[in-house]
Amino acid sequence: MYIGTTDEYINSSDRNALFASIRKFDYMKIFWNDEIGKDESGHMVVVLGRSIERGQAGHSVGLLHYWSSNGSHTDINGGYGIKCVSVDKIHRAVITRIDWPWKLWSTEVMRPDDVCAPLAEIAKDRSMTPEEMKRLVDAKSFWPRRVRRSSHDTDAERSMR
């Protein structure tokens, strides 16, 4: 799922609703700035949960708790740290939810010399637009609904709204 910048939403509650749909153990690629690729600032985290806190002006502030291998700012060797951040500080995000982890065993394994050309390009010398990124990772701005096809179907497939 894709969560865009605040400017991408007519109503800020739509963005907040997307953050509210995130679950514990979802994987999240956080973007701290507007860049995607060469000059981006961000990293991958594992979501541990969400909470709400009262801000200075008395309004609610959504907080995201996550685990990151980036670790401590004070101890460069700390690594593997648990952190908490206001969702307002997250510029944009891509969330991956693994509903059926056992299916990972049957996925095609990449060879060490396999390269995703668009990712190799942006890592080296260019940035990507949000539209290019969404197309590359097939990101939607909502969670697809699961539909049960029959009582014998153990792996209900996802369908789009």
CA–centroid distance for 25 within its chain: 11
Q: Tens digit of pLDDT per residue, the chain (161 long)?
A: 888 888 888 888 888 889 999 999 999 999 999 888 888 888 899 999 999 888 788 888 899 999 988 766 666 666 678 889 999 999 999 999 988 888 888 877 777 777 777 777 776 777 888 888 888 777 776 665 554 444 444 443 333 22
Q: At what angle do helices 130-137 and 117-124 cross, to 10 degrees?
A: 150
Q: DSSP string of 74-100?
A: S-TTT-SEEEEEEGGG--EEEEE--S-
The pTM assigned to this predicted structure is: 0.73
